[in-house]
Amino acid sequence: MSEFLEPGPPLYTALVVGFIAVLILIIWSTKHHVAPKLKVDCDFPVDKLIPSLAGLTLGTAVTGNGVEVLVNGKFFDVMLQSIAAATQSVHFETFLWKEGALGQRLADALCAQARAGRQVRVMLDANGSRKMGKQALRQMQAAGCTVKFFHKWSVRNLGVMNNRDHRKMVIIDGREAFVGGHCIVDSWLGEAQDKEHYGDVSVRLHGPIVHSIQSAFSEHWTGQTGELFLGDDTFPALAPAGDIIIHAAFAAPERSAPAVKILHHTAICVARKRIWIQNPYFIPEPEAIDAFGQAVKRGVDVRVLMPSTSGSDNPMVQHAGHRNFEKLLRNGVRLFEYPHTLLHQKIMTVDGKWSAIGSANFDDRSFETNDEITLGILDEGVTGELDALFEKYVGKASEIELEKWRKRNPLLKLRDQVFYMFNEML
């Protein structure tokens, strides 16, 4: 008669574990983007493909723009001056904000504008900005700033908790914008002079491309608040401010690959002379590694500059990335590790003519999970500035050599393999 007895503890445990596994699968699949293996067959150079790059990434290439490259701590001086000069609206969006001197300076600047009657909207990722400090938040709210948090912890958000707002953007009066990698943390102040001061790059934009950046901000703002803002305060008519062509990639359709992934992969596949990448978290997918290899076979000079484990703020990511180094090196990719501090810039230049810069890391989390923004800029001057930064830092970096890398201790290889298993969550 034992078959009629109530289930024992082992069966209960199995049922609970099974239920949890199914729940995790449901949550994971709720907002998990499709990840097709991308294929490109094209003989045209990158500078002849700007309408295609923009169109494939659900954007539009616009001309008449001006770009200023802002490096390291100088970015904050320029950004805060622009916030102080606003006359209509300030829109600010970031992933990482931690309590400190920089956060207080920014809170003071935003509060001053709100008290002066400007419309100040602030979008913060709920996870990345959880340590911003109650004082700064209360100060901004009391001054009249509207502060919203992207995907706060709640039962309703269970299916999207892994999806984070990783964008870093500022839009002033709908006429000026900033996009890049800078976070609101004191470590970003300074000149990357030591391990307590990081390196980063952002760009200041004028011209019609500002409407695209404003649209990216509106996407999250409307999704979290329902508010639609319009009129000359936020979308004014924009006259040309230069002659640079720019397109913005930020859309992430649920039934297709995100735009930033398509943009980076396509640019790799159409490069003809060189691909130089600066990225803090470099964990390419297998098809990207194959694309790099095909580029090398076409005669493309492919180089990647990233922090070493000693320079990184998250050594686990570097260890996970090491798992792919041998295949990359066999494919002819040159890899350089910078040991002195975190280089946080997210840059890729192609053929000395076109550059991608924004918030996206070169890993699964940025390309398939997070919400990001990357600008494609067709301009030899801007590309030259970014390549000069690569050359500046690579001179103090160590190049990884294939034969030495192959001879590493098997335990180190095992560690890298273990960390790589979690690459989508790092």
**Domain membership flag for residue 13:** no
Q: Are strands 119-125 and 301-307 parallel, antiparallel or unpaired?
A: unpaired
Whether residues 277 and 383 share a domain: the answer is yes
pLDDT at site 3: 47
Whether residues 356 and 402 share a domain: the answer is yes
pLDDT at site 318: 93
- Cβ atoms of 302 and 333 closer than 8 Å: yes
Whether residues 170 and 296 share a domain: the answer is no
State the pTM of this model. Answer: 0.91
pLDDT at site 21: 77
* Residue pLDDT, tens place only, 21-63: 776 665 555 555 567 788 888 889 999 999 999 999 999 999 9
pLDDT at site 24: 67
Whether residues 260 and 320 share a domain: the answer is yes
* Residue pLDDT, tens place only, 264-306: 999 999 999 999 999 999 999 999 999 999 999 999 999 999 9
**Domain membership flag for residue 169:** yes
**Domain membership flag for residue 50:** yes
Whether residues 178 and 218 share a domain: the answer is yes
**Domain membership flag for residue 113:** yes
Under DSSP, the state recorded for 165 is B
Residue that finishes a domain, picked among 217, 244, 271: 244
3-state secondary structure of 149: strand
List the alpha helices (DSSP H) in 190-285: 209-225, 259-270
Percent of the chain with pLDDT over 90: 81
Q: What are the residues whose beta carbons fall under 8 Å from the beta carbon of 345, sequence distance 6 or more?
A: 180, 181, 199, 200, 201, 278, 279, 280, 357, 389
Whether residues 281 and 365 share a domain: the answer is yes
Whether residues 217 and 350 share a domain: the answer is no
Residue that finishes a domain, picked among 244, 270, 286: 244
**Domain membership flag for residue 148:** yes
**Domain membership flag for residue 18:** no
Based on the number of CB atoms within 10 Å of its own CB, is 47 exposed (0-12), middle (13-18) or buried (19 or more)? Answer: middle
Which two three-digit tokens encode residue 102?
A: 């920089």
Whether residues 294 and 328 share a domain: the answer is yes
Cα separation, 62 vs 240, in Å, equals 10
- DSSP string over 393-420: HHTTSEE--HHHHHTS-HHHHHHHHHHH
**Domain membership flag for residue 277:** yes
3-state secondary structure of 146: strand
Closest CA to 357 of 338, 373, 341: 373
What total of structural domains would you count in the chain? 2
Whether residues 69 and 48 share a domain: the answer is no
Residues of the chain with pLDDT under 70: 1-9, 23-34, 155, 157-159, 161, 425-426
Cα separation, 389 vs 383, in Å, equals 10
Residue that finishes a domain, picked among 214, 244, 274: 244
**What residue numbers bound the domain in which 414 lies?**
33-55+249-420
List the alpha helices (DSSP H) in 298-375: 315-322, 325-330, 364
Whether residues 322 and 354 share a domain: the answer is yes
Residue 254 vs residues 80, 281, 342, 371: alpha-carbon distances, Å: 36, 24, 32, 12
pLDDT at site 4: 47
Whether residues 406 and 257 share a domain: the answer is yes
Core vs surface per residue 344-363: b (16+ CB within 10 A) or e: bbbbbbbbebbbbbbbbbbb
Percent of the chain with pLDDT over 70: 93
**Domain membership flag for residue 22:** no
Whether residues 413 and 324 share a domain: the answer is yes
Closest CA to 397 of 323, 327, 260, 304: 304
Query: Nearest 5°: phi and psi at 221?
Result: -65, -45
CATH of the domain at 101: 3.30.870.10
